[in-house]
């Protein structure tokens, strides 16, 4: 059972991270669900639509719509599955990789500007140390 201090910090951290995440996502030009699919394909490589749906925890029908939109925008491509002729794989196109990098750049750019504008040197150093702690918590 966590201490009341740990529980308070956890609640405050969850709230602050939620607000920061929503603010950073506000910089997106591609809808969040589509960015998530592009990111998954970038991290994990080619996948079936069913695998993507499971990865993103959405219904296969919803993922099929998202994949269709991304194919229409030439952000992903389809190719035959190497071992199962009934399936196809989707993967990032060069345009999709460029769009994803642009999205990531916008997010990181906004956050870097906010860090410079809002935080003192001491606070920036503390934030840098805190990033490693957040990584440890995420891996727990």
**Domain 19-139: CATH architecture, name and number where available:** Orthogonal Bundle (1.10)
Q: What tokens were used for 52?
A: 């993507």
Number of other residues whose CB lies within 10 A of the CB of residue 87 = 13
Reported as a single tens digit per residue, the pLDDT across 47-83 is: 999 999 999 999 999 999 999 999 999 999 999 999 9
- Rounded distance, CA 28 to CA 71, Å? 19
For the chain, the structural domain boundaries read 19-139
Residue 1 has pLDDT above 80, yes or no: no
Q: What secondary structure letter does DSSP report for 83?
A: S
CA dist 12 and 2 (Å) reads 15
């Amino acid at each position: 059972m966590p201490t009341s201090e740990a529980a308070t910090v956890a609640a405050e951290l969850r709230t602050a991270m939620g607000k920061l995440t929503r603010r950073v996502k506000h910089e997106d030009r591609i809808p969040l669900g589509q960015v998530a699919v592009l990111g998954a394909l970038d991290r994990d490589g080619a996948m079936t639509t069913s695998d993507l749906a499971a990865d993103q925890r959405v219904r296969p029908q919803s993922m099929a719509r998202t994949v269709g939109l991304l194919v229409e925008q030439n952000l992903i491509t389809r190719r035959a599955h190497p071992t199962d002729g009934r399936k196809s794989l989707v993967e990032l196109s060069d345009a999709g990789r460029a769009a994803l990098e642009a999205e990531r750049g916008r997010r990181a750019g906004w956050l870097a500007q906010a860090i410079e504008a809002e935080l003192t040197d001491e606070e920036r150093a503390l934030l840098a140390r805190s990033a490693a702690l957040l990584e440890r918590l995420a891996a727990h």
